[in-house]
Structure formats: structure tokens, C-alpha cells
Amino acid sequence: MFRSRLAVVLVAVLTGLGLLVGSSPGPAVAAPGPDDEGGTATLQRRLDEAAGGYNNAHAKAQASEKRRTALITQIAALEKRISALDAEVGKLSAAAYRNGIPDTATAMTNSRSLPDLIGNIGLIDALSERRTRTLNDLRHAKEDLATARKDVDAQLTKQRSAERTMSQKRAAAEKALADAKVGGQQTGGFTTDGENNDERAAAGGSPSSSGPKAEPAPKRKTTSRRATSAPRRADGSWGSEGCSQDDPTSDGCLTPRTLHALRQTQAAGFTHYVHCFRQASFGEHPKGRACDFAAAKNGFGGAATGDDRAYGNRLAAWYIANADRLAVLYVIWYRQIWLPGIGWRAYQSGSDPSAAHTNHVHLSVQ
């Protein structure tokens, strides 16, 4: 689903003018290199599998917990209804025992007139019908209760299974980072007011390995709108998607979920330059499942400082806050990587600003 040759030329012209969606007027520096996600193809494959598996298991666990909570509420209502029906059956039985419910022949004998007869027979029918209906309601309520209790147990089993899978995938992601020797130490991540919680840990505890110390980002409270959720499968998990949508930032394509994440990012106010699809030997960009969001307004330059650094910090934090809605696979920013289930970890992916992700926030979507 690529554009025509003329459209490709137009995109290139608009990019140069800074008029594409997500960019600002002015020169746009070229996108990061083809394999800027860092590590190796093996590492990216392992992270993809671990993070995607964790996300789907987490979604299934959430769905099971939601269903189990609803069933527990249903069980409480059924138990209350059964108690009321039991009481009504008891009253009807006691009344029948004390006074007897006459049969039709007795009603005819005791009736003084035709209207009286009709009234007595009607009363007999009404009492019998009410007793039968109450007993049937009681039986059905008890059957529903038994079914709901079995379903609760089944949902709990599903939830426990999903939680075991989450634990396995979390361990797999941590092992992948350790095996690749790209860091992996726990870091503090970033905050929505533009702060870096743990710069020393992000640099692996070695100031010399991180290059010049970045200018501290100014604090600035910013409230960004919450992202709307991308469509899920019936069980809450994320299905696989092809690169089927035109990428508004290049002449390539995106998956529907990645395009949704891009639009939601911009709707939340993050409108600096962005570039998504590009050819590469591995990673998510050539699959249409990743975007690079420049910290600077007009393109990818040197390591971000000041307002640009704060912008990147806020954007990275916003992705984490909305990870469950956007199916975030991982986020890379300023020598740190965020993965579902394990949080922010040190990530030494290169020395130049693009490879180190100090000039752009990388987003990969499942």
C-alpha cells in the first residue's frame, strides 16, 4: 500500500520544508541509522518475544480478573435471591399446611354461586401457579449459582496461568539484556513533569561512559491527555498485524496499532519531528511497528538538553503511563529502555546521540 512515485517525491519535499505531520517548520536532520535500536538482531527478537508474551499474558490475566470479579458479584446476588425464594417457599408451604389448598371438587362444593365458584377456582390456580413458579425460580437460581462458582474457579485457574507466563517472560527479558551485555541494571526512569529520576544509573554508574553531562532539564508540570485504547482481541490480548497503513512520516507503511499510537501521541501534544518506517536489517522499524520521536522540534540533532530533554522525558513517561492502551513493546530514551513487567533498565546501545537515544525517544508497538 505504498504511494505513487509522485507522492514519494512530494513527501520528500514536504519533509525538507518541515511540513509533514509531526514536524515543525525548519530543516529536518536525517533519521537515525538503520539499526539504531541497539544490541543485535538476536536481542531484539528475544525482547520482542518476551515483551509481547508478557503483554498478552497480562491482558488475559486482567480479563480473567475482571470476569471473576463480575462472577463474585453475581454469586452474591444469586445467594440473596435464593434466600428470598427459600423464605417464600417456606411461607407458601406453611400456609398450605395450616389451611390446605382445596382441590377443584371441594371448591365447587363450597361455592354458593357461579361467581363464587369462579373466584375459588381462580384462587386455587393462582396459589398453585405461584408455588410452582417460586419452586422453578429457586431451582434455576441454584443451577446458576453452581455454574457461576465453577466459572469463578476456571477464571482463577486462567489468571494463575497467565501470571506464571508473565513471570517467565519477565525473566526472559532480563536474561536477554544480561546476555547482550547492554546494561540491564534497574534505573529510575522519567517523570511526566520532565525529570530524569536516575541519570547515574542510566549511564551504568560510569560517568565517562555517558559522555558530557547533560544540562539538567527544567521542571515543568504538564498534563497530557490519556490515550484511547487500540482495539484488542476478545480475550484482551493483542493480535498480530501487518504493515498495511500509509506512514504519514515516510514513504513506508505502519501497522494499524502503530498508526494509532502515532496519532494518539500527537493528540496528546507531542508534536515535535517524528519518523517511523525505514528499512533496517532487524528491529521494529521495517515491520512498521516503531517510531522515533525527536526531542528537538525540527529533527534529530545532538544530545538533547534543557527544554528538549524535558520534552523527551515527558514523552517517555507518557508512553509508560499509556503502555497498556497502546500495546507498547518497549521504549528507549537516554540510555534507558523500558520493558513491560520489568520497568526501566540501563541500555548502552551506542555512543553517538542517535544510537544512544539521547536525541529521540524510540517507541516500539506490539
Confidence class of residue 33 from pLDDT cuts 50, 70 and 90?
A: low
- Beta strands in 39-103, from DSSP E residues, in sequence order: none
Whether 29 and 77 map to the same domain: the answer is no
Residue 133 forms part of a structural domain? yes
124: pLDDT strictly greater than 70: no
Whether 19 and 90 map to the same domain: the answer is no
Whether 273 and 162 map to the same domain: the answer is no
**Percentage with pLDDT > 70 across the chain:** 72
pLDDT of residue 129: 74
CA distance 277 to 295: 18
Whether 152 and 186 map to the same domain: the answer is no
| Total count of domains within the chain | 2
Whether 216 and 359 map to the same domain: the answer is yes
pLDDT, mean of residues 330-358: 94
Residue 243 forms part of a structural domain? yes
Check: CB of residue 99 under 8 Å from CB of residue 91.
no
For the chain, give the mean pLDDT: 80
1: pLDDT strictly greater than 90: no
pLDDT of residue 222: 52
pLDDT of residue 99: 52
CB atoms within 10 A of CB 9: 12
Whether 33 and 67 map to the same domain: the answer is no
Residue 52 forms part of a structural domain? no
- Which residue range(s) make up the domain with 81? 62-167
Confidence class of residue 360 from pLDDT cuts 50, 70 and 90?
A: very high
Whether 341 and 224 map to the same domain: the answer is yes
Is the model more confident about 84 or about 217? Answer: 84
Whether 147 and 245 map to the same domain: the answer is no
pLDDT, mean of residues 314-330: 97
Q: Model confidence over 203-253: pLDDT tens digits?
A: 444 333 344 444 444 444 455 789 999 999 988 899 999 999 999 999 999
Quote the pTM value.
Answer: 0.71
Among the candidates 167, 191, 210, a domain finishes at 167
Among the candidates 110, 133, 167, a domain finishes at 167
